[in-house]
Amino acid sequence: MKDYSDLYDYSGEDAVIPSGELLEIEKVKWQDFPKYRTFFHGYEDFIGATIPGELNIFSGTTGGGKTTLLKSMSMDYASQGINTLWFSFEMTNYSFLQDFSKDSLEHIFMPKTIPTKKLNWLEDRIVEAQAKYGIKAIFVDHLHYLLDLGKIGRPSLEIGGLMRNLKLLTTNLNIITYLIAHPMKVKADAELGTGDVRDSSFIEQEADNVAYLFRLKGSVNKTILKVTKARKTFGACEFHPNNKFELEFRNRRYYEASEDV
């Protein structure tokens, strides 16, 4: 029979402790968090604000404004002096950075090059950025670049495994993760909802918050942000009467126009 006597004095990082003691540890870890908010107040009030350890998914049609929305959120963090880390796989660094003001650029960090898209490389860069710059949130554009879909036999399961690992990474490093995921092919002005993310239902299952962007039919500069999952507040909220927020595009970024539509 295995000897468990050494466990009586075990005090490692994963030791079992009283919940009251654990709560005090967590309070210290998150004590400065409340100021970490974007200026999309209606959206954040609906999901209960965003806290460290949460994985947030944004999806929408091509050209629907996903990257622009996340850029806008990182600008809001920057305006509060909060440092964030970006992984932009679709654009060159030069093109990507053109939309940011000089003040914003002081609080936005990126790797000089992306030699690989493997998750362990991503983790190393996050830990590096935390140590050097104290980053609080990461933005990944986009999920499907972290997989070589041409070389995997069962994309749904592979993506499911990747999402679990991303969630664990987010939790273990005590960061906020914003992740773009492409949807299935739909009409450009169609309303998107639960199940429309491409390739795997695990994407939405593993996320804490899920939102879709789509254009208003006949509108040039207005986009709808629709929340379909908010784990802390409503859980699955596809049909909640107040889960939609109108966004306006002004000065190369999004602003929340109203709390619901």
The phi, psi pair for 14, rounded to 5°, reads: -105, 20
Burial (CB count within 10 angstroms: exposed 0-12, middle 13-18, buried 19+), residue 108: buried
Asked if the model's pLDDT at residue 72 lies above 50, the reply is yes
CA-to-CA separations, 222 to 64, 67, 186, 215, 246, in angstroms, rounded = 10, 15, 18, 6, 7
Q: Which percentage of the chain shows pLDDT scores above 70? A: 86
Interhelix angle 155-172/119-133, nearest 10 degrees: 20
Q: What is the pLDDT of residues 84-121, one digit of tens each?
A: 999 998 888 899 999 899 999 999 999 999 887 788 88
* C-beta of residue 256 within 8 angstroms of C-beta of residue 247: yes
Is pLDDT larger for residue 249 or for residue 130?
130
The phi, psi pair for 180, rounded to 5°, reads: -90, 135
pLDDT at 32: 61
pLDDT at 150: 54
Q: What is the pLDDT of residues 123-161, one digit of tens each?
A: 999 999 999 999 999 999 877 767 665 556 566 667 777
Burial (CB count within 10 angstroms: exposed 0-12, middle 13-18, buried 19+), residue 98: exposed
pLDDT at 261: 45
What's the mean pLDDT when you consider all of the chain?
85
- What domains can be seen in the chain, in order of their start residue? 33-258 (3.40.50.300)
